[in-house]
Amino acid sequence: MLWGINMKKSLKIASIIGLILLMLGASVLVYGMMQTTDVTKGRPDNRPPDNRPPDNRPPTILPKEEEERFGLTLDQLKFFLNHASAVTVNGSVVALVQSMLILNTAVGHTRVLLPQNWTLDNMIVSREILFNGTFSGIGQNVTVKALKSVLFTHDNFSINIMFGYEITNSKGIHALALLPFNIETQP
C-alpha cells in the first residue's frame, strides 16, 4: 500500500512535470513562429527581397515620408533629371502658392517649383519667408535658375516642369536652395 501511494504521487508529479514541459515547449514554438517574419512583411509592394547584385537591381522605393518631402517618387525624379536642362527665368513675382512660385515673364505666367528651405545670408529660411518682403515680394523682379524638364510636346503646346535652385533678387542678393545634392552647370 505504501508503494501504491508513492506510485500515485510520483505519477501525479510526473504528469504535472510532463504538462509543464509540454506547455513550455508549445510556448517556445509559438514564440519562435511569432519571431519569424514573412519575407514580404513590411515592404510597400509586398515583394520578397531582391537578392540581385546592386548594379542589376531596379531602384528602391523611397519611404513615404521621403516622397512627401520631395513631392516626387524615385521614378518621377529619375525621369525629371534625365530630361532636364538648366534654364534662367526672369520675371516679377505674382504669387507663391504652396511650393509654386508664379512669375510674370515676357511669355506670360511661368510656374517654378521651389524646395521648402533656402540659405540666405548664412541663415536657413523657408520659401514663404523669402517672398514675404524680406528677400522679395509680389511685384518685385527676380531671376530664378532652374532645371526644366519637358514632359510632353505636341504640335502647338508643351508641358514642362521647372525646379528652382537659385534665386537672385533685384538687389543682387542670392538665395540658394537647401538640397541634399549639388547642382552645377557649365558656363
Phi and psi at 5, nearest 5°, equal -70, -45
Three-class SS of residue 153? strand
Model confidence at 109, pLDDT cuts 50, 70, 90, reads very high
Predicted confidence at residue 13, as pLDDT, reads 74
The alpha-helical segments, DSSP class H, found in 36-124 are: 64-70, 74-82
CATH superfamily of 83-177: Nucleic acid-binding proteins (2.40.50.140)
| Rg (alpha carbons) of the chain, rounded to whole number | 32
Better-predicted residue by pLDDT, 151 or 45: 151
Q: Name, in order, each residue with C-beta under 8 angstroms of 11's C-beta and a sequence gap of 6 or more.
A: none
Q: Name, in order, each residue with C-beta under 8 angstroms of 181's C-beta and a sequence gap of 6 or more.
A: none
pLDDT tens, position by position, 56-101: 555 544 445 544 455 567 777 777 778 889 999 999 999 999 889 9
Domain boundaries, the chain: 1-36, 83-177
